[in-house]
Amino acid sequence: MNNYPPLLSIAMKAAVLAGKEIMEVYDHDFSVELKEDKSPLTEADKRAHLKIVALLNESGLPVLSEEGKSIAFEERNKWKLFWLVDPLDGTKEFVKRNGEFTVNIALIKNNIPVIGVIYAPVINSLYFACEGIGSFKIVADFEYLNHLIQSQNSAERFIELSTKLPVKDSSRPFTVVASRSHSSEETTSFIEELKIKHGELTLVSIGSSLKLCLVAEGSADVYPRFAPTMEWDTAAGHAIALAAGLKVLNGHDRVTPVVYNKENLLNPWFIVQ
């Protein structure tokens, strides 16, 4: 086992406790602000950001978060190992109260995600991955997860109690997962290509980084994303996909791997398969 488990333990603790902060807002009335790019922002985003940064700072590594992203490229370009965070991925889903939102925490090493944690508190699902160890999923309520994150060597305990991904299901039809809130003509064309190749297929729509998780866990075969995303939207799910034996490739050439900590933090179009 490599030297990542202590960092994985920190990331899981941060994700679970941020999820608690989010649910305290979710369970009551809340207001919605609009950021400069017109995307929504809530008290839950802010509280989760503060909780995560406070806990990740214990690792001594720098943190790049969606809610604290104004760090000059000249500074972060020197980072060889850092945290990349979306405190609340799927704020639109949060506002709709459909439960399809997540906490995303990734550890980036030399522009590649090597640890990923995605926590979906409404559906009691925690996905996590570590390079060289694998991808995993545990379904449990907050009380149980909180008990685990407080234990010594919590990463090892989580691995013991979780299901290793992917879990293959040869009985289902070829399945494509797509965005609940973002579609495009290019996505439609890609799906039509798949219909020609595979015949009957199933299309699943879901919000946030759960789309990457569905492919990583074996519930879907491919996730095409021909619409804008930012690095913090995908890094944790990318790590989970990689450790499950998948690839996240540039959607233009379908060969080049997606990388992180670029000067422009906008992702290229991509395909997970």
* pLDDT tens per residue across span 67-118: 888 899 999 999 999 999 999 999 999 999 999 999 999 999 999 999 999 9
Do 72 and 42 form a contact (C-beta atoms < 8 A)?
no
Confidence class for position 180, pLDDT limits 50, 70, 90: low
> How much is the pTM?
0.96
Do 126 and 14 form a contact (C-beta atoms < 8 A)?
no
Q: Please say if the pLDDT value at position 1 is more than 60.
A: no
Confidence class for position 184, pLDDT limits 50, 70, 90: confident
Do 124 and 210 form a contact (C-beta atoms < 8 A)?
no
CATH 3.30.540.10 applies to domain 5-165: yes
> What is the architecture, at CATH level 2, of domain 174-272?
3-Layer(aba) Sandwich (3.40)
Q: Where in the chain is the domain with CATH 3.30.540.10?
A: 5-165
The pLDDT of residue 193:
92
Do 117 and 15 form a contact (C-beta atoms < 8 A)?
yes
Cα(228)–Cα(80) distance, integer angstroms: 25
